[in-house]
Structure 1
Amino acid sequence: MGPTTEVIIVGGGFAGVACARELSRRGIRTLIFDKNSYHQFQPLLYQVAASQIGVSEVTRPLRAIFHRTNKVKVFTAEVASIDTANHSVTTTDGHSYRARVLVLANGAEPNFFDTPGAREHTYPLYSVRDATRLGTALVAALNTANNEPEMEHGVRVVVVGGGPTGVEIAGAIAENFRYIVPGYFSPEVAEKCSVHLVDMLPNLLTPFDDKSKAYAVKRLTRMGVKLKLGSGVTEVTPGSLTFADGAHLPADIVVWAGGLKAGKLVGDSGLSLGRGGRVDVTADLKAPGAGGVYVLGDTANMTDARGNTLPQLGSSAQQAGKWAARNIAAELTGNPTKPFKYVDKGYMAMIGRGAAVAELGPKRRLVHGPIAFAAWLAVHLVLLSGWRQRASALFSWAEDFLSHSRSHVVLGRAD
């Protein structure tokens, strides 16, 4: 067992980093564990896959984030198990560490809902590796189509999931087929390529207003995205999907944006689990029945003051991380903790070039089109970690918007 510290945080995502930063400002010694040495900005992973921005724009070394403080120590290690009773973690290399308070903010993983073939034959989009893997597969498929002009079809992409991630990646790939492929490959290949967006629900962007949904459908259809809604995927095979209504859809690449669930680490923790395998946390962001254990971000089902479940968004995770740190500081000094007060900033989804939907604030002010597009860019610039990342992303967006060019190369493995 390693030395005891005040706080251990598992996960270097939005919630974990925000929590560690606030704890550092309060002078509280913290260990933060992540299997990656970097913090990744998940909302923009689809743009990495579409070669709109590079990996360096969505990643920042965790040690660079905390290099100005001696209160936070970063461990690049995968946590194999946790002991909530003793507030300890054990890494895959066999080392164990213990703290007075344990924070679980280790994110989630794709939820395939036990769909046969989905895990083996689709491309999820939750990590940098996922994004580079998908981007590599898209380029390889386009190369094949370009080298074999006798093919009757180009690259057939099917995106499963009509939430923000599905809408954004479908729009980005469709734009590539329309604007990028004709110049980098050939107009003939571009004309043969297709994008389908499918979902078991009858509408896209379920949490959004009906006007936002209608706008998204209109813009995606205009960009050439074909929609199949109201029937779930029952099987994925190499080259096709089967649906509950008996339909079949050919596909060369299937992108899985069908939802998330908490990972095995939390599943094996002994904590009481709720929807999506996540922990239904108390009002002050603790795991029920486990003193000194906080659960944040995609690992938790968090609620607002009215009991409404909070969306799995970066802003929600950041707010929870900061609030948990304040509660931890109070707990360590013998003071009472306070219920989480969530500031509702609304929802956003990018649809394509100059097009987005935004529902801002708790009153859900509806904004569509170029204004929503600009708001989306501004919000994501603020959320990005690091000035270099912000400047580089802004330059990439300007280059893409003004020239329809791609200076980024996706490097990865498609297998």
Structure 2
Amino acid sequence: MDDIYQVIVVGGGFAGMAAARELGRKRISVLLVDANNYHQFQPLLYQVAASQIGVSAVARPLRSVFRRIRDVRVLTAEATSIDAAAHTVTTADGTRYQGRILVIAAGAVPNFFNTPGAQEHAYPLYSLDDAVRLSTALTRTLETAEREGSGATDVVIVGGGPTGVETAGALAENIKYIVPKYFSPALADRCRVHLVDMVPNVLNAFSPKSQAYARARLGKLGVQLHMGQSVGEVRPDGVALSDGTDIPARITVWAGGLQAGKIIAESGLAQGKGGRIDVTPELRAPGVEGIYVLGDSANITDDTGAKLPQLGSVAQQSGKWAARNIHADLTGGTRQPFRYSDKGYMAMVGRGAAVAELGRKRIQVQGPPAFASWLVVHLALLPGVRQRIRALSSWAAGYLTHSPTQVFVAKPD
């Protein structure tokens, strides 16, 4: 057993990083455990996959984040199990760490909903590794198709939420601007992007007005929509839909949902929808003292009891709020129920175009004004000044010159 910490935080995402930072600033000893030594900015992973920004714009070393907060120790290790009763975390090398309080912010994993072939053949887009792997596969596919000089080069994206829509828009713009410029117009003519979802509309959580704008914009970019259809099977050469339609495709991107990972499933804590923990209003695991669950590992509600979406802003705010409640636990204070400051929803639908529904009143904005709002919000959320500068310069260069920023060398198959 290693040293006993006041708080152990499992996961260096939005929620875990926010909680550790707030606790460290309050001079509470924290052990932050993550399999990666960096924080990844998930909302922009699709742009890494589409070669619109580089890896360094979305990843910041965790030790850089906490270099001036001496009460936070960063441990790069995979947490493999949690003993909620004993308040211990075991890592892959067998070492156990104990804390007075545990914060579980371990993120999530793709939910393939038992779709045949999906786990084997689809590309998820939840981690930086996923984004790099997908970008490399896209590059390799284009190189192969250019070399062969024939055949379609279609991409199927499963999931019509913000990630699916943003990825579809980015890839369609690459086909429109980058493929003809760096490969050939003939290859661009053979490339198509398909977006599939079992619900009837894209951006299902948005208003009908935003949905209509997104559909129109995607159609203008050449994205073929297959709404109201579920995926029956994913194969290496395409997907089969529930209505019998077969879509030949060299790449299938899975943006169809998330679920809590194995560490939550084996924690002994009661699980709710998506395998996540239905936390109390104070963000604690019910029925267990000293366990907080945050971010994509938790089902969190607002002060009205309504379930909050799995958004970076929810995770970040829950991390800060949990830190306050943990400080109260350790100092004899009183916990407070989580109150979420609703920033609304937004999604980019290609360069210069976006939809945004801002605040609790859902003020609706489309087009360039929404795109400007999207830029401001995402720049503000990026975890460091260098990351903001790199993202901004990449956007400026890409949008002005229609050139890829992230470059991958793909060896022939």
TM-score range, shorter chain: over 0.9
1:56-95 alignment runs, 5 A limit: 56-95=56-95
Partner of residue 408, structure 1:
406
1:320-335 alignment runs, 5 A limit: 320-335=318-333
1:190-339 alignment runs, 5 A limit: 190-339=188-337
Partner secondary structure for residue 179 of structure 2: helix
Partner of residue 380, structure 2:
382
Partner secondary structure for residue 196 of structure 2: strand
CA distance in 2, matches of 1:292, 1:244: 46
> % of aligned pairs identical?
62
Partner secondary structure for residue 407 of structure 2: coil
Partner of residue 139, structure 1:
139
CA pair 125-37 structure 1, distance change in 2 beyond 3 A: same
How far did 1:227 drift?
0.3
Partner of residue 157, structure 2:
159
CA distance in 2, matches of 1:26, 1:345: 27
How far did 1:25 drift?
1.2
Partner secondary structure for residue 305 of structure 2: coil
| Equivalent pair of 2:21/2:69 in contact (CA under 8 Å) | no
Partner secondary structure for residue 307 of structure 2: coil
How far did 1:152 drift?
3.3
The one-letter amino acid of 1:41's match is F
Partner secondary structure for residue 163 of structure 2: helix
CA pair 139-81 structure 1, distance change in 2 beyond 3 A: same
TM-score, normalised with respect to structure 1: 0.98
| Equivalent pair of 2:139/2:410 in contact (CA under 8 Å) | no
The one-letter amino acid of 2:51's match is S
1:46-65 alignment runs, 5 A limit: 46-65=46-65
Partner of residue 342, structure 1:
340
The one-letter amino acid of 1:320's match is S
Unpaired segments of 5 or more residues in structure 1? none
Equivalent residues, number: 413
CA distance in 2, matches of 1:413, 1:313: 36
Greater shift, 391-400 or 239-248, is seen at 239-248
CA pair 41-369 structure 1, distance change in 2 beyond 3 A: same
Structure 1 position 399 matched with structure 2 position 397: yes
CA distance in 2, matches of 1:273, 1:302: 13
CA pair 414-115 structure 1, distance change in 2 beyond 3 A: farther
How far did 1:411 drift?
6.1
| Equivalent pair of 1:48/1:410 in contact (CA under 8 Å) | no
How far did 1:374 drift?
0.6
CA pair 34-242 structure 1, distance change in 2 beyond 3 A: same
Partner secondary structure for residue 331 of structure 1: helix
CA distance in 2, matches of 1:315, 1:28: 24
Greater shift, 306-315 or 400-409, is seen at 400-409
1:371-397 Cα distance to aligned partner (Å, 9 max, x none): 000100110000001100000100000
Structure 1 position 37 matched with structure 2 position 21: no
Partner of residue 102, structure 1:
102
| Equivalent pair of 2:24/2:72 in contact (CA under 8 Å) | yes
Partner of residue 28, structure 1:
28
Partner of residue 364, structure 2:
366
TM-score, normalised with respect to structure 2: 0.99
Which of 168, 171, 178 aligns to 1:170? It is 168
Greater shift, 327-336 or 209-218, is seen at 327-336
Partner secondary structure for residue 352 of structure 1: coil
| Equivalent pair of 1:136/1:413 in contact (CA under 8 Å) | no
How far did 1:347 drift?
0.2
| Equivalent pair of 1:356/1:372 in contact (CA under 8 Å) | yes
How far did 1:413 drift?
9.4
Structure 1 position 181 matched with structure 2 position 191: no
How far did 1:225 drift?
0.2
The one-letter amino acid of 1:110's match is P
Partner of residue 16, structure 2:
16
1:286-315 Cα distance to aligned partner (Å, 9 max, x none): 000111000000000000011111111111
CA pair 412-193 structure 1, distance change in 2 beyond 3 A: closer
Partner secondary structure for residue 174 of structure 1: helix
The one-letter amino acid of 2:337's match is P
The one-letter amino acid of 2:85's match is A
| Equivalent pair of 2:140/2:410 in contact (CA under 8 Å) | no
| Equivalent pair of 1:162/1:203 in contact (CA under 8 Å) | yes
Partner of residue 351, structure 1:
349
CA distance in 2, matches of 1:360, 1:407: 30
How far did 1:414 drift?
11
Q: Tell me the C-alpha RMSD between the 2 structures.
A: 1.2
The one-letter amino acid of 2:151's match is E
CA pair 301-412 structure 1, distance change in 2 beyond 3 A: farther
CA distance in 1, matches of 2:61, 2:297: 22
The one-letter amino acid of 2:160's match is G
| Equivalent pair of 1:232/1:243 in contact (CA under 8 Å) | yes
CA distance in 2, matches of 1:289, 1:6: 20
The one-letter amino acid of 1:287's match is A
1:199-218 Cα distance to aligned partner (Å, 9 max, x none): 01111101100000000000
- Please identify runs of 4+ aligned residues in structure 1 that moved more than 2 A: 410-415
How far did 1:408 drift?
2.0
CA distance in 2, matches of 1:85, 1:414: 52
Partner of residue 119, structure 2:
119
The one-letter amino acid of 1:286's match is R
The one-letter amino acid of 2:168's match is A
Unpaired segments of 5 or more residues in structure 2? none
